[in-house]
Structure 1
Amino acid sequence: MSTGWHGVFPAVTTQFRDDMSVDIDATQGVQDALVRDGVNGLIVMGTCGENNSLDPEEKRTILKAAVEVVNGRVPVITGVSEFDTRRAVAYAKDAERLGADGLMVLPAMVYVPKPSELIAHFRAVAEACALPIMLYNNPPAYRVNIGADVLQALAGIPNIMAVKESAPDPRRFTDLINAFGDRFDIFAGLDDVALEGLMLGAKGWVSGLTSAFPQESVALVAAADRGDWEEARRIYRWFMPLLHLDAEHDLVQSIKLAEQIMGRGSERVRMPRLPLEGARRAEVVAMVEKAAATRPTGLASHAA
């Protein structure tokens, strides 16, 4: 039941024009640059892709464009983040038709479900398509935990294959592997717990800050894969001030600002988000500029 997914899967940003319409060309440019910089897959329209700020037709247009520009080079996994199960099922069906390689399925937005409701939501999406599914567990953000009881109830559904674990507690990786063995592919989903997750058996890393520093992210996972923990720690320690941004409320604005500073995208975000300003903006700019001046890998960038 393994997905075969492994390595670095950036949660790519959605790019907007000055009038805040979706800029498909720029979004494809971001995606293509990440693939050329060596990432192993793309998560489109997750949190960093501002999924819930997009209209239904925009989501389908963005996914179609991502599949087109990636052209089979790496898996394209799309976020399924909807306000109710009916919409999630409809999007899952369309994502399969449009050529997605997998789904990253979130709990339904706004309403906080009981475990039985969470199970029913995930089961309905899984039964609507044949695509491999990664469940997204992020208790701080979505106020619900995909616990062992929920996973046990879903273990018999063959296309539910992976879990993106974003609980800020590295013990979760060991607990899940102890409980389920290799039934689910576990991915680290919180940037500043990524190396801990990889060390404890995660198959890969769904990353936010990779959008600004992809080569260092790829090098970090490669070092972990070959057991070079000294090199992995060296990169991780350099990266950590930025990785902490992924755990903050304004992570999308911070990551897009980092992208802009690194010449990889625009910081424009859709309301209700607003670009960073004042002391917070100055803080993030200083962090990114320091990281850029002290990059540990020295590799050339493919960003436009």
Structure 2
Amino acid sequence: MSARWKGVFPAVTTKFKDDFSIDYKAMERHIDGQIQAGVHGIVTTGTLGENASLSAKEKQEVLKIAVSVSAGRVPVLAGVAENTTAGACEVVTDATANGADGFMLLPAMMYPADRRETLEHFRTVGRMSELPIMIYNNPVVYKVDVTPEMFGELAEIESFVALKESSDDPRRITDIYNEVGDRYQIFTGVDNLALESLMLGAVGWVAGLVVAFPRETVAIYDLARAGRYAEALVIYRWFMPMLHLDVSTKLVQNIKLAEVLAGVGTETVRPPRLSLVGEERAHVIRVVESALANRPALPELSGQLS
């Protein structure tokens, strides 16, 4: 398949009203704001989008909003994180009909599949998909590791065009290149390893804190791709205390609170998640307010350098 994804792809949050229903108007504003800020793609219903808290119908409704708002300006990927392979295939079928440009595909949830089972899951979904797919590897959270050798075995599936590497080990990027060359477009999925990953050859960043600070995220990416690492590092160092908030079991609550403090979102999460209280909440407020008080000027960029 011909998709050549690269750049900053926000894993957008799902906006809820106080009664926990989806706030569709807020979703429209959120996604349009990200695109206006210069992001290169959108990922719906990922971990940050509270995939597991959404019904099958709601996942498709969120996707349709993103497709409508994007209107072809950037590709829209639907997150696919289901308990069964059959369930993943069903999401792919429905999302294809609803206008997705591709998918971010996770291993099957709940059950920590072994190597053979993981490969079969990906192959089954990959072979039935009419659209390109980004494979998402996050062994830290999901307890299933898609190794560089496994990516080599999956390279025969035409629909697999990209991968999101979230193993918390930037050496993996070099290992993947050594295993399969440039067969895949490699994205980093760990906010506080993003610049290192871009320097090692990643061509994209599926980002979390971008939803609160999109222009700074895009600036880091564009500067890194242009080889202007010293300038990128200034912004990255400023950003780092907030980027650490993405590497947490409460990343959704952390990032939604950061959105509120940045004036671009709402804090409501669906149970069993609960909004932050006490010292957890105070810590996020301190980190974000300190960053807002010292927000760096962004360098001039002659258009998108990506």
TM-score normalised to structure 2 length: 0.96
Q: Does 1:175 align with 2:175?
A: yes
Superposition deviation, residue 152 in structure 1: 2.1
Q: Is the 8 A contact 1:136 1:165 kept in 2?
A: yes
CA contact (8 A) 1:135 1:164 kept: yes
**Unaligned residue ranges in structure 1 (runs of 5+):** 300-304
The within-5 A match list for 1:264-279 is: 264-279=264-279
Give the whole-Å Cα distance in 1 for the aligned partners of 2:2 and 2:176: 15
Residue aligned with 1:289, SS: helix
Q: Distance in 2 between matches of 1:266 and 1:195?
A: 28
Amino acid at match of 1:286: R
Secondary structure of 1:283's aligned partner: helix
Q: Which position in structure 1 is the counterpart of 2:245?
A: 245
Residue 30 of structure 1: aligned partner? 30
Alignment correspondent of 2:231:
231
Work out the CA distance in 1 between the residues paired with 2:297 and 2:65. 31
Letter in 1 for 2:12: V
Task: Report matched runs for 1:29-178 at 5 Å.
Answer: 29-178=29-178
Q: Which amino acid aligns with 1:219?
A: A
Aligned residues: 299
Report Cα offsets for 1:121-152 as digits up to 9, x if no partner.
Answer: 11111122211100000011000100123212
In structure 2, what is the equivalent of residue 186 of structure 1? 186
Q: What aligned pairs does 1:212-227 form with structure 2 within 5 A after superposition? A: 212-227=212-227
Is this contact kept in 1: 2:5–2:162, CA < 8 A? Answer: no
> Aligned partners of 1:84, 1:295: CA distance in 2, in Å?
44
Distance 2:2 2:66 in 1: 24
Cα distance change, pair 2–241 in 1 and its aligned pair in 2 (3 A): farther
Whether contact under 8 Å (1:269, 1:275) holds in the other structure is yes
Amino acid at match of 1:95: A
Q: TM-score, normalised by structure 1?
A: 0.96
For residues 29-52 of structure 1, what are the alpha-carbon distances to aligned partners after superposition, in whole Å with 9 as ceiling and x for unaligned?
110110001111111111110011
Distance between the aligned counterparts of 1:55 and 1:228, measured in 2?
43
Structure 1 Cα separation of the partners of residues 212 and 239 of structure 2: 11
Displaced runs of 4 or more, over 6 A: none
Q: What is the CA deviation profile of residues 144-188 of structure 1, one whole-angstrom value per residue up to 9, with x for unaligned ones?
A: 100123212211001111110011111001000111101011001
Taking the aligned partners of 2:120 and 2:298, their CA distance within structure 1 comes to: 48
Aligned-pair identity in percent equals: 52
What SS does the corresponding residue of 1:109 show, helix, strand or coil? coil
Structure 1 residue 106: deviation in Å? Answer: 0.4
Partner of 1:302: none
Deviations 1:184-229 (A, max 9, x none): 1100100000001100000110000000100000110111011011
